[in-house]
Every structure is written in C-alpha cells, then in structure tokens.
Amino acid sequence: MAQQITPQLDLDEIQGDVLIGMQKKAELFIFFKIADAARFKALTREYVVGRVTNTRTAQQRDREVYESRRQGAAKTGAWLGLNLGFTKDGLTRLLGPSRPRLDPAFERGADHPDTIAALHDPPLSKWAPESRSDRIDGVLLVAGPDPSFVSYHGSALRERCGTTIKIVHSEMGKVRPGAQGGHEHFGFLDGISQPGIRGLTRPLKPIYQPTQGLPGQDLLWPGEFVFGYPGQHPEDPHKEGPAPEMAAPWMRNGSYMVFRRLEQKVPEFRGFVREQASRLGMDPELLAARMFGRWKSGAPLECAPLYDKPSQGGDETLNNDFKFGDDADQRKCPYAAHIRKVYPRDDVAPAEAQQHRIIRAGIPFGPEVAPDETATKHKRGLMFVCYQTSIERQFEYIQKQHANNPDFASGKERPGGGLVSPGYDPIIGQAAGNGAREMDEAFPNYPGGNRRTTLEMPSQFVKLTAAAYFFMPSLSALRTVLT
C-alpha cells in the first residue's frame, strides 16, 4: 500500500468530547437560551473558554486512566470536563441573522416537522415537557467522576453565567453502578466499537497494518468528524478524500453534535424477550443477543453465535475483530441486529461502509430498575450523543436508511432462493406513525437449519423524548469570531 501522509490534528483546538470523549462517570447537560448576547460573549471569552476541555487534555487524561488501570489502580483524577455547543438559533444570537448557513440538516434542526417526519420520530407533543421550548440556543456539557462533583461544578458555572443565559432544562447522566458500569440499561456493554482516526488513534501494528487501530477498527480520515481535514474518499476506503466544505473559516476544528434523549422501557423489554423466547423455544439471552448482535458481555455473535464468551466481550483485541460477509445467510447474526444495521461492515461495499460513521459519546440516565418494577415507573435511558461533519450523511442516514428501513441490507437472498426483507433495527428502528415492526430470523439457523421465524414488535422499547443538533466550535472560534 502506498505510504499515506498522516494528518496533523490540532488537538488544542478541538473540543475534548468530539474525538476522544471527556472522562465521565457523570455528565450534566445544561440546555440554555442566550438572554443577553453581549454579556454572554464577554463571559464566554473571559471565563468559559479557558475552562473548556480540549482534545489534548482529554488525551492526556485517557492515557492516565490507561496507565493506572495497567498498574491495577482503580482510581483516577477527579477531573472536570467542560464543552460548549450552539444550535442554529444560538449561532444567530451570536452572529446576527445574516450569518453563514451551515449543513441543511443542522439549519433545519432536530425538532423541525420535516426532520421528525423523515426520521419517524414521535411528534413534539410526545417529547418530555421539561425539555420542550420555543428555542434552545446552546448546551454546556459538564463531566466528572460522580454526580455530586458535577452538580457542584455545574452550579458554580450557572452562578457565574448569571442572567447572561436562561436555563431551559438540565439533566444528569451517569454511568450505571458496580458491575453494570459501562453497560447501558438493557444490560449490554456499550462503547466497544468506535471508528479509529488517522493522526490520533495509534495502529496496533504500525508496520503491517498502518490503517487499523485495534483489530477490526479501520482508521478513517479525520474530516469525517472534524472540519478542516481530509475526509473519506467516496470510492476508495483508504484514499484521502476531499475535506468537507465549510460555510465559514471559523468552522475549522469544529464538529456537529447530535443529541437524542432516548428513554428505554427496560421491564417491558425484558418481559417481551422472555415471552417471545418461550414462544420460539430458545434461550431469552440468545434472543436478546440476536436483537443487538452482541451478548451482554459485549462478545459479538459473529464470534460467539450460540453461547456467550464473556472473556471475548471484555477483550478489546477480540471484541471488534469480525465482519459479516462470511455470515451471508444471517445464521450467526440477523441482518437487522442493532450493530449490523448501524455499521454493516462488509454487508456493503468497503467505501460505502465508511461514508456513514459516527463517534458516539453518550451516557445513561435514570435509576436502576427497582425489584418490583414490572412496568416502567421511573424514567431511564440513554443521553445519546454523536459527532460528525454531515448530520445528513452520517447520523440521519443511519437512522433513516438503515435502522428504519426494513429492506436494508438489500439484495440478501434466502439459502433456498428468494429475497429477504431483514426488518427494522429492533433497538432504535422506528416505523412511520409509531407502527409495529418486525425482524427476520429471530431463531438462529446455526450451524445449519431452515426454520423461518419472525419477531413481531408491536411497540418500541426505546422512545425519543427530546433531540437537538449543535455545532461544537473550535476553541479559537469560541474566543474570537463567535464572541
């Protein structure tokens, strides 16, 4: 392979949550309106920007965490993380109505009726009342080692902001306790697979596989996630592609953040899986794993099709090292399983697979399920966050063209002939008008067999209750043009 030049990322400029993720056991999301633009700008310049966590700091902290784990120490620094983003309305408050127009999806916004219709999202009337507002201008992300630390620093920050902003809503996300740490509320290990980034992610074998981070982690051109760098080539997954267009030079080192507050109906999900597994005559843990494409431990079905291999789930050199191409009849992992829908790997052409990647940086919210909670009593779920340079080609494409599209992946055939309609992503797929969904091949025909089964899902286990699109500017943009 021809030697490629490694892009030099400006780590001091890019906000820390975008590429690496702020270190967070707890994270406070403060959604606000700008009440007094002139005073807000002065405060941002003089107080906030100097406290924003950049990628260099996030990287140093990550290395410390890694080192202390390697030495068997559980504790790491009590670090405060702070990031800041603006919606289209926020940018207008800061720059005036004749400001440059950014990505069309960003300018439309997550709460626009066209976005809601395109993504099959629930109508605004069904969103959480506390997060509904005529306008949200920005979000402050405050991250740290525990909720009280984060609350304390969040309050100090709010006090400092005073009347320059008006808080619309704030909500705390937190990592689940004990052994469930790192697992989301359905119980599955999350945060395993992320795209690697050229110029940032270290290849495990730099000489032999310079375009692979950990096994199974392709290194992508950073322009997919941050403005100002080459992106993926649309026809060749290794070749440098054009840098995404910027509506203004100050977009350099910035990124779009998609936020979605997704409530999870955990007791209902568990009850459904138990019932359906008994109908199908299979282990409920296997049925749940077939809905996700991984076992709760994180072990991929492609490597552990019938029984969990927990040792593989937690091992980062093994848990992402797989493809779907040699599972052409969905015997190991259904075509519709969450991870197969959202990153189809070699189910599609190599360059196409890398056109729709996102970096995820979400955190769970809400309490643990109480022992007597057979129907959801307490709200819980995922504060889903992802970063990209095109909301339309990345997040929206995955949701619309893959998760919500029962015919994706297309062109798959039954072993005996005939086309397969894989069905909806059982976790995040949404049918129009909140309609019923189905998933093909709930029961595994592995290693052989020809039993046809369909999983009918009359209701969603994941419900969207708030959403917004933000731009996360570079530190320079925050210090100059925007303020």
Where does this chain bind ligand N7H (CB under 6 A)? 184, 186, 188, 190-193, 260, 262, 264, 292, 294, 338-339, 342-343, 358, 360, 381-382, 384, 395, 398-399, 427-428, 462
Residue-wise burial string across 327-345, b where 16 or more C-beta atoms lie within 10 A, e elsewhere: bebbbbbbbbbbbbbbbbb
Give the CB-side neighbour count of residue 179, counting CA atoms within 13 A: 3
Catalytic residue list contains 308: no
Tokens 């809503």 map to which residue? 169
- Strand stretches in 58-193, DSSP E: 81-86, 138-144, 165-174
Q: Give the three-class secondary structure for 141.
A: strand
CB nearer to ligand N7H: give 361 or 472. Answer: 361
| Contact residues for 119 (Cβ-Cβ < 8 A; gap 6+) | 396, 399, 400, 404, 430
Which residue in the list 190, 308, 327, 347 is annotated as catalytic? 190
Structure tokens at 424: 């909806």
Structure tokens at 353: 């697979």
Residue type, 452: R
| Shortest spacing between CB 280 and ligand N7H, in angstroms | 21
**What CA–CA distance (Å, rounded) separates 428 from 457?**
12
Tokens 């708030």 map to which residue? 466
Structure tokens at 3: 């030697």
CB nearer to ligand N7H: give 353 or 442. Answer: 353
| Shortest spacing between CB 428 and ligand N7H, in angstroms | 5
Strands 359-360 and 381-388: antiparallel
Q: How far is CA 181 from CA 29, 149, 242, in A?
A: 20, 18, 39
**What CA–CA distance (Å, rounded) separates 89 from 115?**
16
| Shortest spacing between CB 157 and ligand N7H, in angstroms | 28
| Shortest spacing between CB 291 and ligand N7H, in angstroms | 9
If you write DSSP's letter for every residue of 437-454 in order, what string do you get? EEEE--S---SS-----E
| Shortest spacing between CB 290 and ligand N7H, in angstroms | 13
| Contact residues for 401 (Cβ-Cβ < 8 A; gap 6+) | 356, 408
CB nearer to ligand N7H: give 142 or 342. Answer: 342
CB nearer to ligand N7H: give 40 or 395. Answer: 395
CB nearer to ligand N7H: give 196 or 473. Answer: 196
Nearest to 86 by CA among 483, 477, 471: 471
Query: CB of 403 within 8 A of CB of 430?
Result: yes
Residue type, 8: Q
Q: How far is CA 102 from CA 80, 119, 208, 274, in A?
A: 31, 20, 40, 47
Q: What share of the chain is helix, strand, coil (3-state, %, to 5)?
A: 30, 20, 50
Backbone φ and ψ of 456, nearest 5°: -90, 130
CB nearer to ligand N7H: give 220 or 339. Answer: 339
| Shortest spacing between CB 121 and ligand N7H, in angstroms | 11
CB nearer to ligand N7H: give 23 or 194. Answer: 194
CB nearer to ligand N7H: give 157 or 427. Answer: 427
CB nearer to ligand N7H: give 13 or 327. Answer: 327
Catalytic residues: 190
